[in-house]
A and B are shown apart, each in its own frame.
Chain A
Amino acid sequence: MAQAARSVTSPPTAAAENNLQPFFVLHKAAPPRKPTGKTRRRIDLSPQKADSTVQVLDDNFRFESFNLLWCKIDCTMRNVLREINACVFEEIDRWVRESFEAIRACGVPNLARATRPHPIFNRAETAASRQLFTAILLTKNVEFVDDVLTFVDLGVHLRSSGCHVAQLTSLDFSAKNGVGGCLKTLLRQFLTVGIDAPDISILASWYTEQGNYESPLVVIIDDVQRCCGSVLSDFIIMLREWVIKIPIILIVGVATLDALRNTLASNALQCLFPRGFTLGTPAERMDAIVEAVLLKHYHGFSIGKQVTTFLRNFFLRHDGTLTSFIRALKIVMVQHLLVEPVSFALVGLINEEDTKSFGGENTLLRETMVKRCLDLPSFQRSSRSNRNGDIWDCGLSELKRFRKLWVCMAMCLYEVGKNYKITLLDLYCEMLEPQLLNSGTPCHFELEKDDHSLFGGLQKGGFVNQIIQIVRGLPAVELCELLKSWETLTRSITKINEKVKELQSLTTFDENRPRRDLTETSKRHTAKSNVNGKRDGSTINEKVATFVDCTIRRYMQPIESIPFNEIVFFDNVDKLRTALIGDPRRRIQADLLESHKFLKCSCCSKNGSMPSPSMHDTSILYTLTQEHGDLINLHDWFQSFKSIISHPGSKAKQRLRLSPSPKKRKGSIEPRNRSDASIQAEFCRAITELQIIGLIRMPSKRRPDYLQRVAFGL
């Protein structure tokens, strides 16, 4: 790299190879930031040890376990999303059938009539004979990324139930291609042949001819708001002309109804016979995914408070798409597996049956791993057992048991919050709070103030507190339901389950339900003494609330306190942030200012960030930029650049100056034999690079001799 930089500074060679210059500059920042770089570096740094084979194995194993784990998670997420959509898809399917029946009820035109271009006028004026059946699928999301898959799935679903499906995207409705463009795509998808002059009558004859008329034609349009409105309107009006002859049923995806109204012309809207369907909101899907990935199906790793909060903020504030959330989760996983020394033990944790035989096939690996485990700070903190062989299994099973309890409690709490718009992600963030246990009264800490503003009066208490409040105020019937659902949730953990059952019996007793039996009432007494010996006369709600409170305190210990938590636990938010966001502009600026750190050449490293002639032109120029305000006088800039370039020896004198004095300039011209023209050429090229990177803006017509700085600060 240093070599390259030097060659660039010398003008003649640079001229020869400067074609790729801007890209050169842009590239420099990239390599050391790549996450893969970390593994490599790790290998490089520890070659002196004999266990280089272990390292390789280690890396392989990390990679494998990542693949395995992510595969599982990905699979779970897909299933969850599919389940969320399944209900809506069923509805749509039914509706498509109904609409098709309605269209067919208007009479099935024979071949000759169906292919005639004139409209059929029906005696019975029903909606089907005038309008297009249209399902409006509200995505309720500005971003569309999350729904791409949904629409693909919908297409598959409808196809499997025997419809002819064509899927158009907003790209097909471009102003450039007009109606012909989308018609072409439509015909290609239905007919599976390319058509030279697309014409809707072709579809009509295809539909009748092929004997396809038993099934409806469904046209799915992905993302209406991104389509060209006029083209889509024309398309709809055209389809309307063939309304009975071709039983086309439209399914359009759009964020809101308003967006649809804004996109389509009113006469096209009149052609639609709409029916609204709503997809799951992003928040709902998010909850479902969090529930599945982080709670229900144990994928062996859990994320800490900081990372969760970061992810949550990222989702709510920045991106708002599930796709990016999933990507972030993936990065978390990668980071975890890369950074934590024994994180690959995760796989063993997941494959429950062979926990013990884990690593058995490779004793070398197992040895190093156990050694590493012993070094884990969490283990050393709670060094209670020193039996080398057992700690592993003990620790893992302990970890698992703890995990099970925690998840169970979390699910119970979520069950309460579900109906009150408490999102699981928020709740999850809060439950991870290490202070949850220690603070005298639970949940006296603050979440971000955003949520305070969102949740009106209940700022001070967190969500857990809120949930306890809700439990206190719950009417008896709902409380009963709640306990019932808790009962099923806690079935695997007998301790909690028993208590829940006791509470259940209490409620049935209090309500004088006829179906209570003797065993339950007898249990009641133990319940009173067990759950809450202190307060006796309080209502059943109070009891449940105390039960929640107690169990949270008893069972929801922060995972950090458990030995071996490093295996599953990741909470390094900085790593995640750098990997996720990257911040390329900032990187470019920093690298330009501190190029010597990367180049590690002898010439520049001495005087720190002072510009020296051996530096890259762009780097010099950008360093000089720092002295200016948001406007840079081109002349001054050039002069100072020139003086730096042409003064290799006198670095000491070449201190940064706010504006180079004319004297300096005069002195700077003489010693170098470099021509003004070549310096100017270098100058121009460097400026162009800066412009391409987007750090400065070229002079405007109003101020021809001033450049504008675009980026400020780091």
Chain B
Amino acid sequence: MGKEESPHVNRRTTRSSSSTTPNSKTVGEVSKIISNTQSLTVNDLVISDESISLEELINSFPHRRVQILELIKLLGPLNSPMIPLFVYGGASTGKTSTVLEIFKHLKRPFIYSSCITCYNPRILFESILNQLLLHRKNERNGYSSAKRCEKPSDFVNLLHDALSTFIDRLEGDLWKSNSKKSPSQVTGKMIYLIIDNLEHVREWDKSLNILPFLFNLYDILKMPEMGLIFISKTSLDTYHSDTGYAESLPVYFPDYTEDDLRKIFMKDQSNPKLYSSFLDVVLRPFYHTTRRVDDVTNAISPLYKKYCEPLDDTGITPDEDTKRKLFKHINPYISQFLKETFQVPSQPTLKASASKDKTRKKGITKPGFWESLDELDFHMSTCAKYLLISAFLASRNPATLDASLFDSTGGSGNRKRKRKSSEKSMEKKESKEQELLMKGPGTFPLERLLAIFQCISSVAEYSPGDEVPQIDGLGANGWDSGLMSDVLLQLSSLCSANFITKGGSCPLEGAIRYRSAVSEDMALKVARSLKFPLPKYLYSR
């Protein structure tokens, strides 16, 4: 602690030679290494490419002045110990970028780990240690970590060792400060540990151990040279804390207001006048749906392209007239973009040719004639379609309704009818259990699905006229034979396509139960493509 403080940024020097690198494996090999694989130095722990003044920092984050100043205050002057910080705020409110830019401004070394990239404790620990030990995974070490570390207890020990060597090195660098080598970008001998996306830790398996451990890390380590900063999307309250964590100071990043968003979007625009007129139109509706900068950016950047479409020169300053014209142009798109944030443009050439085709065709054939064919935009065999519809029906309708819906039209033979009636009584009882089981779209056993399938497919098969199947014979034959074995195959492929979900087994019967996962729109679409009167069969509650 008591070493002399560096009064000026950039005055201290360090050496990036192999002798100071901790990565002992690379020592002998430095000469062999290609230029772009130098070993890491302390310098690499600071963002050092350009310096940024406080003024610039504050300017680059509109409406974050308070937070920036508070954070700098909490980080304290050089080499002063700090209490762990807990930075939180909604998604895309600039937490991570602000914190990182502050460190860029302060030029202090830090270690960053995101709990998204580090998806389990081991990766997190090893990632922290690797950075601290200035270890880089490369081909020579088989892309392995510096230390293998899976348990929190190991981590504490290793971290302690690593930290002390690291701080020794920092101090050593300070001692050597009077050498005439390239100036060190590192200031101070504190090392900060930033753990981002902390809320993801809660989803880890052993999060019960890891979370308290991370919160207590500062106390456990007892090393004032390490500063801890947590960044999270959720507030501290959401981390159940009954074990008495070490107090961490919360810093809240509030959501942006509409004005803030405008300022953010206006930053670095080539044609601010035009863009501001665009934002006048667009920002308000979007602000009502989402306040996340990234969401809004994603949504409005294609819109801006649309907005500029009628303009020949995007550099012009729009007058009232053009503004009105542009507004008229953009207006229909806004609601469309509001509804659908995930737009997928397709290949331009094919699209163009397709639209050309369409216009060409429209000239000749009656419109609406082919349109009905286009509605279902993917391929599915007829059998699978019927299965899908029957699954949808089985999920939608109560089982008691089946008999009344399908009995009269379904089986024609005697035996069939008899079976139906007994099924009816069975299903009555079943429905009682089902009422207990059922929440949301109903589940159904395989038998019920097959029964409905049989009914609706046979209805469709014989409804238009009885003379046809006899004459041709082929269609009907091909349809009936091998029905069962094939249907089960189709069912499994529907299941794997997520149209039907296999539920857990029924506790009473032990058989697997299914549930339809398609929306009503989709089912209706499928039914339309089959000319199946689905709405007639739907039971409205």
Contact = CB atoms under 8 A, between A and B. Distances in A.
B143 A313 contact: no
A142 B116 contact: no
Contacts of A272: 342
A50 B499 CA distance: 61
A256 B143 contact: no
A144 to B, nearest CB: 8
Contact of B474 (A191, A319, A573): A573
Nearest to B149: A197
A313 B493 contact: no
A452 B139 CA distance: 65
Contacts, number: 264
Contacts of B137: 199, 201-202, 205
A229 to B, nearest CB: 9
A136 interface: yes
B101 A121 contact: yes
A608 interface: no
Given A111-B37, A577-B482, A700-B509, A278 B350 contact: yes
B225 interface: no
B37 A209 contact: yes
B478 A473 contact: no
B13 to A, nearest CB: 18
Contacts of A315: 381
A334 to B, nearest CB: 18
Nearest to A459: B464
Contact of B139 (A179, A206, A317): A206
Nearest to A170: B496
Nearest to A285: B379
A192 to B, nearest CB: 11
B478 A449 contact: no
Interface string B109-132: 000111011111011001100010
* Residue among B123, B138, B344 with the highest chain A CB neighbour number at 10 A: B344
Interface residues of A, number: 116
A309 B357 CA distance: 30
Contacts of A261: 342
A702 interface: yes
B30 to A, nearest CB: 15
Contacts of B131: 117
B117 A581 contact: no
B119 A202 contact: no
B377 interface: yes
Contacts of B381: 142, 315-320
Nearest to A136: B344
A340 interface: no
Contacts of A191: 143
Contact of B464 (A225, A275, A306, A453): A453
A452 B347 contact: no
B126 A197 contact: yes
Contact of A310 (B415, B474, B484, B522): B474
Interface stretch (B70-78, B165-173, B364-372): B364-372
B18 to A, nearest CB: 16
Interface in B475-520: 475, 477-479, 481-482, 484-486, 489-490, 493-494, 496-499, 508-509
Contact of A140 (B343, B378, B464, B485): B378
Contacts of B119: 178-180, 234, 238
A269 interface: yes
Contacts of A111: 36-38
Nearest to A92: B347
A195 to B, nearest CB: 6
> Interface size bucket, B side?
35 or more
A453 B344 contact: no
B294 A201 contact: no
A380 interface: no
B486 A206 contact: no
B508 A225 contact: no
A193 B475 CA distance: 54
B485 A130 contact: no
B282 to A, nearest CB: 16
B211 interface: no
Interface in B330-386: 341-347, 349-350, 357, 361, 363-365, 369-370, 372-373, 377-384
B117 A140 contact: no
Interface string B164-203: 0000000000000000000000000000001010000000
Interface stretch (B212-220, B237-245, B295-303, B435-443): B295-303
Nearest to B495: A226
A446 interface: yes
Given A119-B96, A199-B118, A310 B478 contact: yes
B478 A317 contact: yes
B350 A450 contact: no
A577 B481 contact: yes
A116 B485 contact: no
Interface string B59-74: 0000000000000000
B24 interface: no
Contact of A320 (B123, B295, B365, B379): B379
A210 B498 CA distance: 40
A118 B192 CA distance: 13
B222 interface: no
Contacts of B423: 630
A143 interface: yes
A518 interface: no
Contact of B465 (A127, A179, A310, A449): A449
Given A199-B123, A270-B294, A453-B531, A317 B383 contact: yes
A176 to B, nearest CB: 12
Contacts of A142: 378-381, 384, 493-494, 497, 499
Nearest to B511: A697
B142 interface: yes
Interface in A402-448: 419-421, 446-448
Given A111-B36, A205-B138, A234-B116, A274 B342 contact: yes
B486 A319 contact: yes
Contact of B481 (A202, A309, A581): A581
Contacts of B481: 577, 581, 583
A121 B52 CA distance: 14
B17 interface: no
B3 interface: no
A302 interface: no
Nearest to B205: A178
A419 B364 CA distance: 11
B136 interface: yes
Contact of B384 (A320, A573, A630): A320
Contacts of A381: none
B100 A121 contact: yes
Given A112-B40, A141-B378, A199-B117, 15 more contacts: A91-B347, A117-B127, A118-B96, A119-B100, A142-B494, A199-B123, A200-B117, A202-B143, A208-B36, A211-B36, A226-B498, A283-B379, A446-B472, A449-B465, A631-B422
9 contacts: A112-B44, A142-B497, A225-B498, A319-B486, A320-B379, A420-B361, A448-B475, A577-B482, A712-B419
Interface of B: 34, 36-38, 40, 44, 49, 91, 96-97, 100-101, 112-114, 116-120, 122-123, 126-127, 131, 136-139, 142-145, 194, 196, 268, 294-295, 297-298, 301, 341-347, 349-350, 357, 361, 363-365, 369-370, 372-373, 377-384, 415, 418-419, 422-423, 429, 464-465, 468, 471-472, 474-475, 477-479, 481-482, 484-486, 489-490, 493-494, 496-499, 508-509, 522, 531
A-B pairs with lowest CB-CB distance, top 6: A320-B381, A581-B482, A276-B346, A118-B112, A317-B382, A448-B475
